[in-house]
Amino acid sequence: MRIGFLTPWRTDDPGAWSGIIRPMLDALGDVSDVVPVSTHDVPAALLDRAAARLSRRRYLWDFGLATARIRGRVSAQRLRAAGVDVVFAVAASVDVARLGGAVPVVQYVDASFDDMKDRYSVFTGLSRVSAMQVRRIGKLAARRTAGYVAASQRVADELAAGGVDLTRVIVAPPGAAIAPRPATRAAAAPARPLRVLVVASDWERKGGDRALAAVAHARAAGTEIALTVIGSTPALPGDVRALGRLGASELSAEYARADVLLELARANAAGVALTDAAAHGLPAIATSVGGVPSIVAEGRSGWLVPDGDAASAAAGELLVALGRGEWGGISRASAAAWYAEALDWASWAERVAALCGQVRDGVAR
């Protein structure tokens, strides 16, 4: 079976799509014949560019219907030249919406547009016309799709609610974008002060303010905490070890030295930092939003707290308990075991390849 890996991201960029495009390709290539097909070099349609300039509110030209027509035509040409049996489309609804030909499509989906609208910065403040076109592209892509790989149970439930036959859907959370480096040594058993790590590429959405409030809550209760924050952040208190953005090796070392990852996000499609943490055997405290419950296993790889006004206080109480040594059986070993069981790329690739084969055989019949 020859799989065309279709995506608008560069397939040679290790940082593409939060760093998971390359691991996806490599893992799938270990179990099948995979041909990367990227449309990153296809410019948006002039009509959509003009609409973006004229619109008073944000207009996403990369999600315009005119652009979808161009990308669909180019995708079809490149897939035909590659001679593929099935298409695996990753973040590629625009490419699939107007994709001609008869080759079946399996889409990887990590969130619905309604889950991301006004929660993710790129989908905030859209014009009514742009939002309408994004939804239309989603519907057109769904018509062209024969199977789905859902990044979380939440996505699978949304697909089912939209009328998709669940026999055409598998739930397969993504693996880590950053695997532990061979020379990286995990932290010793938790000790004082409790080493708390926050990774916030998008400070508001990732709940950076909530994390600071949770740490303040725990400190007020007498818990000693050494807080490290990674990512683009506003001005932080002097007692925070703020490292800015880090490369993969440096970030891996921080996952290894911390005792717990704190991610109180307001929206989270799949949670790459949470998956990276589990790969490093780092337990996590996270809000139960989006796809997070499929990544963080309550009682095994971490703790889930409710979203909303109570998130910081609930996380703060957990930090107090951890500071007292009350881990409830959760450890680096249990988090790493959960990753190996449910999140590693090898099992992900086997399941995706099996679905692609199922879809191909169904079309053949």
- C-alpha to C-alpha distance for 45 and 94, rounded to whole angstroms: 12
pLDDT of 186 strictly over 90: no
The pLDDT > 90 percentage for the chain reads 94
Residue 281 near residue 261 (C-beta atoms within 8 A): no
The pLDDT of residue 364: 66
The pLDDT of residue 187: 73
- C-alpha to C-alpha distance for 109 and 286, rounded to whole angstroms: 21
- C-alpha to C-alpha distance for 137 and 128, rounded to whole angstroms: 14
Structure confidence by residue, pLDDT tens digits, 24-53:
999 999 999 999 999 999 999 999 999 999
- C-alpha to C-alpha distance for 292 and 304, rounded to whole angstroms: 9
Whole-angstrom distance between the N-terminal and C-terminal Cα of the chain? 16
**Token code pair at residue 347:** 């099992």
Q: Is 325 left (phi over 0), alpha (psi -120 to 50) or beta?
A: left
What does the angle CA 163 – CA 165 – CA 169 come to, to the nearest 5 degrees? 115
Nearest to 107 by CA among 144, 154, 158, 153: 144
| Exposure class string for 168-193: b at 16+ Cβ within 10 A, else e | bbbbbbbbbbbbbbeeeeebeebeee
The residue written with tokens 């807080």 in the block is: 227
Q: What is the rounded radius of gyration, in angstroms, for the C-alpha atoms of the chain?
A: 21
| pLDDT bracket for residue 184 (50, 70, 90) | low
The pLDDT of residue 104: 97
| pLDDT bracket for residue 363 (50, 70, 90) | confident
Domains and CATH numbers, the chain: 2-175+344-364 (3.40.50.2000), 194-342 (3.40.50.2000)
| pLDDT bracket for residue 279 (50, 70, 90) | very high
Residue-averaged pLDDT of the chain:
95
Q: 183 — phi, psi (to 5°)?
A: -85, -5
What does the angle CA 312 – CA 343 – CA 281 come to, to the nearest 5 degrees? 60
Residue 163 near residue 97 (C-beta atoms within 8 A): no
Residue 177 near residue 348 (C-beta atoms within 8 A): no
The pLDDT of residue 315: 98
Cα 147 to chain centroid, rounded:
19
Q: Is 317 left (phi over 0), alpha (psi -120 to 50) or beta?
A: alpha
The pLDDT of residue 185: 67
Residue 141 near residue 237 (C-beta atoms within 8 A): no
Residue 348 near residue 27 (C-beta atoms within 8 A): yes
The residue written with tokens 């809550």 in the block is: 217
| pLDDT bracket for residue 181 (50, 70, 90) | confident
The pLDDT > 70 percentage for the chain reads 98
The pLDDT of residue 188: 65
Q: What is the pTM of this model?
A: 0.94
Residue 153 near residue 293 (C-beta atoms within 8 A): yes
The pLDDT of residue 144: 97
Amino acid at 262: L
Structure confidence by residue, pLDDT tens digits, 307-336:
999 999 999 999 999 999 999 999 999 999
Structure confidence by residue, pLDDT tens digits, 100-150:
999 999 999 999 999 999 999 999 999 999 999 999 999 999 999 999 999
**Token code pair at residue 131:** 């939002």
